[in-house]
Chain A
């Protein structure tokens, strides 16, 4: 039948579309044939749910699309659906993510491979719609795999990778995909949409296996463990997160093989680092002004590179330390804060210092910069000021360990 042939053709052809980061993740949910999705409004993540609503309404996607009455319920509903064998998707932003915190805590503890999108947003108060990374970072110790993407293509691809890795029986941990509010959630770019055929080849069906909650498998999930067993159970989560690095590498290799697009090192992206004296670091869409600034600085003869952390959990400490050892100094730009932390630095800076401390090789000085809070733009001159300070440190001149950039004095 002609129609059938047409559908088959559609299934096997990659397409290109001009879409936002949120829409890219909605498309990934459709391609992944997600079963249960829960929505609750908060800017800026909620655009993904608006796109999914349209996909369902247009008959392009078959799922239970449930609008919850709060983020706590939103995450609890999909947590339970996932325990019964359903592939699930959820998401939030800012204080919405924090409202769901109890559910976010138990999800990795229950070994639920939920995939969520965080449209990064500043926490209240005072109110701000713009990006800050403290929302997603709040779960960094709990067993969530955390990834920051910086463009719509990467958002789509990473969502598929997230399902593949999270639902691997060796992992069974949730994954949150962070997309900077506005800069990515609402910005359009040309995105290659892979064919259903290739996605099916890359992404096996979710199999809850021995942990399935069903009358045919009458198990008791999450009883009272107390001091008798909780420590052993925590250790299992530790082991799962430890395996995550390996499974991520497998998934990225398969992604390259099936879709013909490679991300290189899955954990962090390096830009102009081959001959760099100093490097800057950061996560998310910060990469745009930093890369522009680097191109300008290189015209002036300054050999500056950039390392964009993609996966924050698991944190590729050894690989990162090895890479950073090549440079004379490192400047980490945090779009977050951690008041009272060592040297009052941001979260990423502190993690990078920790990674370097135990490294076998050289340990360049690490300067922390806090910038772009509440959605404030990080400008090219901002990045140049950061680079100047890092150059000073490279020359052995004392610099403050934490500096606020772009701050109104």
Chain B
């Protein structure tokens, strides 16, 4: 059959076998001004380490722009460029297209260079979703778009985004005397949407850097597979979620273990639940009640028991009623609409 899509070679990035086997070199180092306990900064560090030195990183407006790149004190060792809030998709596409054509025309040396564009949940799930979606349809351009999701516009004063969980207290949804729940939208399902809507995209994954090796290996897989890819990372944020910074790692674990944040990857169209999520789905471990996750965070301190029950019921739905647990909200109704036989 004819080849319609010309994908340039990518770097061979084998998975890291263990934390002890990680390279010592850092490509995201000192100079940044992120908050104590910032998990997104850890994502940047791990992402750059996983990608290595032959990489170009584009960062859209957000915490990881403002806090990381004060003029004259950049924390990036690899080339880095700012892109506009809704432009992570366009930045990845433009950079990758330039490399492809300049190499083809012999204007620069022909070698695989990683292109990563990152965005926050505001830049990705709200403003930039159209551009990310478009880029994921351009199958001939190698890039990774990584959305670091701290569940609010955390750099501009903790305003809610389309990725903020139901009921959370943000500066745009602060509870008052008459209305306790000002944010009544359920969190947007970005990874599921990207995986379901872009059949040419070879890799979509969810990660949480509380499981660092898993996260880094997902990033390496996304870069090595070729074509445009998407990773959605859940990043606990002490400032926005209102908890003691020393709890960041534990908060990520609780998000996964309560089933609020399912870990999975869709590789060449094949879905695989990963990490702790796989064990939950297989019945090897039980989900922790969401109460244990919510009540450790000040942003849910106004919740009543009814609110917690509602939240729990929505998470239970994800696991019990969705056709594929935690991934895509198509409901199974086994009696009326049995799944197709194998």
Binding site for B on A (CB under 8 A): 33, 35-36, 62-64, 66, 68-70, 72-73, 76-86, 102-103, 106, 205, 213-215, 217-226, 228-229
* Interface presence of B275 (CB below 8 A): no
A66: nearest chain-B partner, CB-CB: B97
Chain A residue numbers with a CB within 8 Å of B134 are 68-69, 73
What is the predominant secondary structure among interface residues of chain B facing chain A? mixed
Contacts A63-B101, A72-B87; A80 near B131 (Cβ below 8 A)? no
* Interface presence of B266 (CB below 8 A): no
**For chain B residues 53-98, which have a beta carbon within 8 Å of chain A?**
53-56, 58, 65-66, 69-72, 74, 76-84, 86-87, 89-91, 93-95, 97-98
Contacts A85-B108, A215-B53, A220-B69; A73 near B130 (Cβ below 8 A)? yes
What is the predominant secondary structure among interface residues of chain A facing chain B? mixed
- What CA separation (Å) do A63 and B94 show in the bound complex? 12
Chain A residue numbers with a CB within 8 Å of B105 are 33, 35, 62
- What CA separation (Å) do A222 and B74 show in the bound complex? 10
Known contacts A76-B83, A219-B79, then 16 further A-B pairs from the complex at CB < 8 Å, ordered by chain A residue: A35-B102, A62-B101, A62-B104, A62-B105, A69-B130, A69-B133, A70-B130, A76-B131, A80-B93, A85-B98, A85-B107, A103-B84, A213-B95, A215-B79, A220-B79, A224-B70
Question: Could you tell me if B77 and A222 are in contact, using CB atoms closer than 8 angstroms?
Answer: no
Chain B residue numbers with a CB within 8 Å of A223 are 69-72, 74, 82
A-B CB contact pairs (8 Å), 30 listed: A36-B94, A62-B101, A66-B97, A68-B134, A72-B87, A72-B90, A73-B134, A76-B94, A77-B90, A79-B94, A80-B58, A80-B91, A81-B98, A85-B108, A103-B87, A213-B95, A214-B79, A215-B55, A215-B56, A215-B79, A217-B79, A218-B78, A221-B82, A222-B82, A223-B69, A223-B70, A223-B82, A224-B66, A224-B69, A226-B70
B66: nearest chain-A partner, CB-CB: A224
Question: Could you tell me if A69 and B131 are in contact, using CB atoms closer than 8 angstroms?
Answer: yes
Residues 176-219 of chain B, each 1 if its beta carbon lies under 8 Å from chain A, else 0: 00000000000000000000000000000000000000000000
Question: Could you tell me if B71 and A225 are in contact, using CB atoms closer than 8 angstroms?
Answer: yes
Question: Could you tell me if A80 and B84 are in contact, using CB atoms closer than 8 angstroms?
Answer: no
* Interface presence of B291 (CB below 8 A): no
Q: Which of B72, B89, B102 contacts A73 (CB 8 A)?
A: B89
Q: Which of A68, A80, A215 contacts B83 (CB 8 A)?
A: A80
* Interface presence of B113 (CB below 8 A): yes
* A35 CB to nearest B CB, Å: 5
Chain A residue numbers with a CB within 8 Å of B83 are 76, 80
- Interface size bracket, B side: 35 or more
* Interface presence of B50 (CB below 8 A): no
* Interface presence of B220 (CB below 8 A): no
* A245 CB to nearest B CB, Å: 30
* Interface presence of B100 (CB below 8 A): yes
* Interface presence of B321 (CB below 8 A): no
Contacts A76-B83, A221-B80, A222-B81; A81 near B71 (Cβ below 8 A)? no
Question: Could you tell me if A73 and B113 are in contact, using CB atoms closer than 8 angstroms?
Answer: no
Question: Could you tell me if B78 and A83 are in contact, using CB atoms closer than 8 angstroms?
Answer: no
Chain A residue numbers with a CB within 8 Å of B95 are 80-81, 83-84, 213
* Interface presence of B138 (CB below 8 A): yes
Contacts A76-B83, A80-B95, A86-B101; A68 near B70 (Cβ below 8 A)? no
Contacts A66-B138, A80-B81, A84-B95; A220 near B113 (Cβ below 8 A)? no
* B68 CB to nearest A CB, Å: 8
A80: nearest chain-B partner, CB-CB: B94
Chain B residue numbers with a CB within 8 Å of A76 are 83-84, 87, 90-91, 94, 131
Chain A residue numbers with a CB within 8 Å of B89 are 73
* A161 CB to nearest B CB, Å: 22
Chain B residue numbers with a CB within 8 Å of A66 are 93, 97, 138
- What CA separation (Å) do A358 and B107 show in the bound complex? 48
Chain B residue numbers with a CB within 8 Å of A228 are 71
- What CA separation (Å) do A194 and B27 show in the bound complex? 48
- What CA separation (Å) do A35 and B101 show in the bound complex? 6
* Interface presence of B294 (CB below 8 A): no
Contacts A66-B93, A215-B53; A72 near B86 (Cβ below 8 A)? yes
A36: nearest chain-B partner, CB-CB: B97
- What CA separation (Å) do A218 and B81 show in the bound complex? 10
- What CA separation (Å) do A217 and B98 show in the bound complex? 16
Chain B residue numbers with a CB within 8 Å of A64 are 97-98, 100-101
A106: nearest chain-B partner, CB-CB: B84
Chain A residue numbers with a CB within 8 Å of B237 are none
A64: nearest chain-B partner, CB-CB: B97
